[in-house]
A and B are shown apart, each in its own frame.
Chain A
Amino acid sequence: MDDLTVRKAVFPWWLAGLVLGLVQVLAVALEGPLGVSTQFVVVEGVAAKQVMPEYAESHPLLSQEKYHTLGYGFWLDIGLIAGAFVAAVVTLRWRPRATTVWWKLNRGRSDYLGRFVFGFVGGFLILLGARLAHSCTSGQFASGWALLSLSVVPFTIMMFLGGLLTAWLVYPRTPEIQR
């Protein structure tokens, strides 16, 4: 297997989906549905409260208790990082790398700068979009369908439209995929 082959996931799809679904159920049973992106704002809200308290006080968002208190959601994110790290190490898949197979095939094997620029801009759009839509793929899409919120319908359509179009533009060529 060369470095232009997409590697198989550890779990087959049905096990992966089942476990993720059960984690979602557990989260709903214990405290609240899964969600990640709010905490990016919360962390900055906490920082803003320290650094520029008067701005944070007057801000319609940061002044809300939810946005300057660390709690369930924040520690869920910390746990997420820890869990992914442990899983990667245990399965011997922890490997420092800076690009992806699809990127190497479509944008050049050594185009790291491009990957980083795209990564940064993409990350910016992801979180701005996620906050505009009140949450991200976990909080809005997965949890939204779990609770059947009304907002999940337009969100799903727009997210997949945007994703399909962009991926089609950025990654026209398909690498070998291990199945």
Chain B
Amino acid sequence: MESTLDTWLNTFNLTGFIVGVLFGAALFLGGLADPDKIVGTLRLKDLHALRTIVLFVLVGMLGTWILQLAGYAHGTPKAATMVTVVLGGGLLGVGFGMTGYCPGTGLACAAAGRFDALITVLGMFAGAAAFIWAYPDIIQPLEKLAAYDFGKITILEYFEVQGDNRVKYGLVPTVFVVGVVLLLLTRPRKQRPAAAYVPAPVESALERPAEPQPRRVEIEPTSVSAQAAPETVSTPEPAPEESDLESSWLDEGEPEDEGREEEDEGPLRLELEPEEEEPDSETPPDRDEKD
């Protein structure tokens, strides 16, 4: 046993260890090693993890590209055996959605005290054993399906082989633009604790032409005589619930787009603080306020 431990320690690789420490710490601090964040992203309710991943990919891509230009990059692409990649990607996705873990974050979460992550890591060892067991007879033949095996190539090389150089030069910028657009689309907005002061659903202030505020008629108990009459009609002091538009945006800021966090339509909300006297359905609501 002693000798086994010795051989084990003799394999120590400082580079790998340091990179691993940084990676593990970054996974934890960045919130990727948190199944709640991952599931939140997969449910499109909490896009912190998605944004982190997109930036992770973009920075990694840019840095690797620079390294490649400078000739310092290591690593070869994975073999593009499409049958197993599609199958495996799907299976991994299912497990990912069930647990909120992936191999790296599962290990990190287990280290952060999550017992369920430890169970998942055990499941992973079982999965690895199943892979080893099934490899010779099932998986290797699948990988060898020549029609779907493109070899260890990059997207660039693939299109080069196809003789299409437009893709070659357009790809990196395209991926970058897509990433940036994703980041912009999912940009976080301030959200206040919702449930507390959201009244009954109010029509979205953005789409609705300003409705006539009902004039409130106050009849004072003493106003029997005619002299009280002019005071009975007061300007529409909006009822607190109606005017509290700053909470209504929480409910219907946008048509049910699950991909968005609820929006804070700050400026619009202010413009709509209804002070209008005679709301006209043809005038856009934002003009009324300035009158």
Contact = CB atoms under 8 A, between A and B. Distances in A.
A158 to B, nearest CB: 3
Contacts of B76: 147
A125 B115 contact: no
B205 interface: no
A127 B103 contact: yes
B128 A131 contact: yes
Interface in A39-78: 40-41, 43-45, 48, 50, 59-62, 69-78
A154 B78 CA distance: 13
B20 A75 contact: yes
Contacts of B193: 176
B146 interface: no
A132 B87 contact: yes
B78 A151 contact: yes
B19 interface: yes
Main secondary structure of the interface of A (DSSP, over half): helix
Interface string A101-142: 110000000001001101111111111111111111111111
Interface in B218-236: none
Given A85-B112, A128-B91, A179 B125 contact: no
A41 B151 CA distance: 22
Interface stretch (B61-69, B241-249, B272-280, B282-290): B61-69
Contact of A148 (B58, B96, B135, B155): B155
Contacts of B156: 148
Contacts of A167: 39, 42-43, 97
Interface in A17-31: 17-31
B238 interface: no
A154 B23 contact: no
A120 to B, nearest CB: 4
Interface in B79-132: 79-82, 84-117, 119-132
B190 interface: yes
Contact of A26 (B19, B58, B175): B19
Contacts of A125: 91-92, 94-95, 98, 127
Contact of A84 (B109, B140, B157): B109
Contacts of A165: 93-94, 97
A174 B188 CA distance: 17
A116 B116 contact: yes
Given A72-B15, A82-B21, A170-B98, A25 B63 contact: yes
Interface centre among A69, A80, A94 (most CB of B within 10 A): A80
A104 B19 CA distance: 34
Nearest to B35: A100
Contacts of B145: none
Given A87-B112, A121-B123, 19 more contacts: A10-B29, A13-B51, A16-B52, A17-B51, A20-B27, A79-B19, A87-B24, A87-B25, A100-B35, A123-B106, A124-B124, A125-B95, A126-B95, A132-B91, A145-B175, A148-B175, A150-B154, A162-B89, A162-B97
Q: Which 6 A-B pairs have the closest CB atoms?
A: A162-B93, A79-B20, A21-B59, A123-B123, A17-B55, A9-B31
Interface of A: 6-11, 13-34, 36-37, 40-41, 43-45, 48, 50, 59-62, 69-88, 91, 93-102, 112, 115-116, 118-171, 174-177, 179
Interface of B: 4, 8, 11-37, 39-40, 42-46, 48, 51-64, 67, 72-82, 84-117, 119-132, 135-136, 139-140, 142, 150, 152-158, 171-172, 175, 188, 190-191, 193-194, 261
